[in-house]
Structure 1
Amino acid sequence: MNVQAAHILVVDDEPDIRRLVREILEDESYRVCVAENAAEARTLKINQNPDLILLDIWMPDTDGITLLKEWVSEDPVLCPVVMMSGHGSVESAVEATRLGAYDFLEKPLSLAKLLLIVERALESGKQFSDRASLRPLIQDIEPVGKSAAVARTKEQLKRLGQHDARVLFQGVAGVGKELYARYMHNNSTRREGAFIAVAVGSISPENSAIEFFGKEQAGKIYPGLLEQANGGTLFLSEVGGMDKDSQQRLLGALESSSFLRVGGGEPVRVDVRVVASTRTPLEEEVKAGRFRQDLYYLLNEVTMEIAPLREHSEDIPGLLNFYVDYFNTQEKLPFRKFTMAAQNYLRNYSWPGNVRELRNLVQRLMILGVGDDMDVEEVKSALGSVTEGIINSSSVPEFYNMPLKEAREHFEKAYLEYHFEKSGGSVAKLASIIGMERTHLYRKLHSLNIKL
């Protein structure tokens, strides 16, 4: 492939950004096509077969992270994808590269950095004619740990993999519910089929029918999530955040194993295993009237409780070593090792963010640290002011003593009001800062009685 004649797809909802990037790349003799949203991007990706995709994270219909995850799952030879965001952060970059993105660009874009990354990404795609090597290897990683809790859960999931019972994964944030769901899929009779994961809270009610069922338009078919997962597994992350209309649509499709595409007239039958996860007890959501009881029973044929990291702390040294090796081999970060004292300290830390927090800690230390060893003092500094994971009870906010639902509402309201003020009262800026789809954000602000 002649790199200078390469075909690049630019996906961004801001017209000025699309025009600027297009002009820059065309001046460098690249062929460029542009899309303003995920729907256009899907069509152009199929029709134009680009050699590289520049993908914005924040878009009005489907966010870039979800779109990247969709493409990685369905396309074993996906071209290199470079993510762009005006509100870049280590967390966004970590998530994007974990899913398979080649690199990450922050806005405002640096001309020199844009051209350098484009050139390197295209060279990478040229070197690997079998582009399946660009798929995130972490998809095939099984849960790490030799503790009784991890071993028991893995054994149960292997058995569940031989059946098609719908499984509800329960556990607090960061315990790896999606990783366990993927492990069950990889050990199931559906392992040759796709594993499609979607954060249902990111799907707006207006788009849920298209997202789940796809659409037919101008003689073309755009498959939805259920159709993409046909023969495999559809994983609904944090299903408690699904709105009532989407719950109704999903219920009907699961009960009949069929649906109509938007704009279509013929029923589409699918054979898909739907599994879900939740960090909040769905029984409480059912009692409060926020989640349909019939859908709850449909999704909850088997419950799998994923234990927080503090309950199997003997796995912490193994997890630390695993992620050191992972970031060294997959992201080419300089090799460093935890001292024994640092490992012992981390075994006694409470890990409120669970495995996700541990993973991010390892990456942060390997990116920012110097020297071969990561010692106790460096670890303490990276963890911040929380000592040994214990919160001083005298500084506990008042809402800590409330029931969970009330405490969550108090926190969300304070959090949103703080960032709303920082954004100058702009809902668009607020949505970008906190990473929430704008339509969903409007509903949240209204439910918390935050005046616009």
Structure 2
Amino acid sequence: MSGPYILVVDDEPDIRMLLRDVLEDEGYEVALAGSVAEAKAARRSRRPDLILLDVWMPDGDGISLLKEWNEDGSLPCPVVMISGHGNVETAVDATRLGAYDFIEKPLSIDKLVITLTNALESDRLQRENQGLRRLGTTISEPVGDSAVMNSLRDQVQRMAQHDTWVLISGEAGVGKQTFARFLHAGSARRDNPFIVVAVGSLSGQEAITELFGSEQGDRVRFGLLEQAAGGVLFLDEVAEMDLQTQGRLLHALDTQRITRIGGNQPIAVNVRVVAATKVDLAEAVHQGRFREDLYYRLNVLPLKIPPLREHPEDIPALLKHHMEHLHQQEGLPERRFQAGALERLRRYHWPGNVRELRNFVQRLMILGSGEEVTREEVERTLSGQTLGEADLGAVKLFPDLPLREAREQFERQYLIHQLERSEGNMTRLAERVGLERTHLYRKFKTLGIDPKKLKTDG
């Protein structure tokens, strides 16, 4: 794998050449720009992993350029400012606009290399932690010591040594994303991004824009394919992708080229695709809902994750893991399971699989009392855990409507219900429903939901 791609923007040719030689020796891929105009063109042609940006240039200044790139409230990659005329005010402005650091000339090469390493690592960890918060756990590898789990881990470790596409299938909640992250962590791409595409939250043109990005004049929006450069693109519930997007995605990945919406310049992409599905993709192909060529492209390395009820011997380890994790991460009081409680949970069928188990443990830790979890408490908690009596109790179904209308009605009621439970907190809501905040705002707009009005009415 090639190293991170760094764009160096500086009006002094000698400094540009020196930085290129130093950074290439460090294993980075480097592009050079000597002006604001060249910097804009270079950034448009390919998304950098990091930008080294000079403050003063012949046709503008780096602070103004930083402000333009930060227009949406966040930079697309880490930016390290460099200047021979720096002052405290300039450094403060750069930091306020999102710059990772500010380095004065003459440059200390050792300091520069350390700063770039830290900036790239900080960015990687931030993206990883965001994804793990949405996943609801920080499992580094799938938990369990059964023959089933040992076999699955062995399969994944062997798959990780190759760069082929992978299709992970299994019921909802079995941990498909956990296995995908485990695969990524063991691969040669481990130091590069793991980008999740919540396919079910996208549709039509929105999906194409989200995946391929867009550009209009100097404004560039990098799509998820570019954000995943060098790493993994994880297609969560890939069966929900519409046929048009399927075709365009397959062509882009086969040719390793994309064109942003509104753009005309082909851009190279290098990603590994890992897809997940809870439905039978072969049946979806038979019904005409999924492209046959994409199915065979995805299904080179299939990985089937069995439901939890098929390896109940892993339930005690999972209960212990989630109890310890919730205690460490959320400060919830740690408790012990009595033997009778463990036996009852081993015999429970867990229709929601590992996800349901984690939610169950969290409920016991929040609502329960005492150091030990008894069988009676388990029975009481399980009896109140049916779907109709829990999170979706206030959400109605619409069996007499056409599928599209029924889905929109359900989504509208579901999101309003979850917004109320999150007390209007969009960050909490995004984590609860498993969507990016940008996806949520688009979904609200599509469904005609006004979060501010709902908060006012409440």
TM range (shorter): 0.5 to 0.7
The 2-side partners of 1:181 and 1:258 are apart by 24
Please identify, of 193-202 and 430-439, the stretch whose mean Cα deviation from structure 2 is larger: 430-439
Q: Give the equivalent residue in structure 1 for 2:377.
A: 378
Q: CA deviation at 1:263?
A: 2.2
Matches within 5 A, 1:137-176: 138-139=137-138, 141-176=140-175
Residues 293 and 350 (structure 1), Cα distance of their counterparts in 2 relative to 1, 3 Å cut: same
Task: Check whether the contact 1:204–1:440 (CA below 8 A) recurs between aligned residues.
Answer: no
Q: How does 1:10-29 map to 2 (within 5 A)?
A: none
Q: 1:347 to 1:301 in 2, by over 3 A?
A: same
Q: 1:358 to 1:285 in 2, by over 3 A?
A: same
Counterpart CA distance in 1 for 2:260 and 2:180 is: 27
Structure 1 residues 299, 409: CA separation in 2 closer, same or farther (over 3 Å shift)?
A: farther
Query: 1:360 is matched by which residue type in structure 2?
Result: N
Do the aligned partners of residues 176 and 441 (structure 1) sit closer, same or farther apart at CA in structure 2, a change above 3 Å counting?
farther
Find the counterpart in structure 2 of residue 260 from structure 1: 259
| Residues 76-113 of structure 1, C-alpha deviations (whole Å, 9 max, x = no match) | 4649x9xxxxxxxxxxxxxx8x8448xxxxxxxxxxxx
- Distance (whole Å) between structure 2 residues aligned to residue 216 and residue 418 of structure 1: 32
The residue type paired with residue 75 of structure 1 is D
Unaligned runs of 5+ in 2: 1-70, 80-93, 99-119, 388-396, 419-432, 434-439, 449-458
Q: 1:241 & 1:411 partners in 2: Cα distance? A: 22
Secondary structure of 1:365 counterpart: helix
1:47-66 alignment runs, 5 A limit: none
Q: Which one-letter code corresponds to 2:221 in the other structure?
A: Y
Q: CA RMSD in A?
A: 3.8
Pairwise mapping of residues 335-346 of structure 1 onto structure 2 (< 5 A)? 335-346=334-345
Alignment match, 2:229: 230
Question: Structure 2 vs 1, CA of residues 414 and 232 (structure 1 numbering), >3 Å: closer, same or farther?
Answer: closer
* Aligned position for 2:207: 208
Could you list the runs of 5+ residues in structure 1 that have no partner in the other structure? 1-38, 53-71, 82-95, 102-135, 390-407, 422-426, 443-452
Contact 2:124–2:193 under 8 Å retained in 1: no
CA distance in 2, matches of 1:295, 1:42: 34
3-state SS of paired residue (1:325): helix
Q: Kindly name which structure, 1 or 2, has the bigger radius of gyration based on alpha carbons.
A: 2
Identity across matched positions, percent:
42
Using the size of structure 1 for normalisation, the TM-score is 0.61
3-state SS of 2:233 partner: strand
The reply to whether residue 250 of structure 1 matches residue 249 of structure 2 is yes
Equivalent residue, structure 2, for 1:362: 361
Deviation of 1:251 (Å): 1.3
Q: 1:289 to 1:322 in 2, by over 3 A?
A: same
Matches of 2:314 and 2:126, distance apart in 1: 34
Shift of 1:44: 9.7
Q: How far apart, in 2, do the equivalents of 1:358 and 1:73 lie? A: 33
Asked whether the equivalents of residues 139 and 182 of structure 1 are also in contact (C-alpha less than 8 Å), the reply is no
Partner of 1:331: 330
After TM superposition, the structure 1 = structure 2 runs for residues 44-443 of structure 1, keeping only pairs within 5 Å, are 75-76=123-124, 78=126, 99-100=132-133, 138-139=137-138, 141-384=140-383, 420=409, 432-433=416-417, 437=443
- TM-score (norm. length: structure 2): 0.60
Determine helix, strand or coil for the equivalent of 1:216. Answer: strand
Contact 1:431 1:441 in 2 (8 A): no
The one-letter code of the counterpart of 2:243 is K
State the secondary structure of the residue aligned to 1:198.
strand
Aligned length: 312
Measure, in 2, the Cα distance between the counterparts of 1:74 and 1:242: 32
1:289 partner amino acid: G
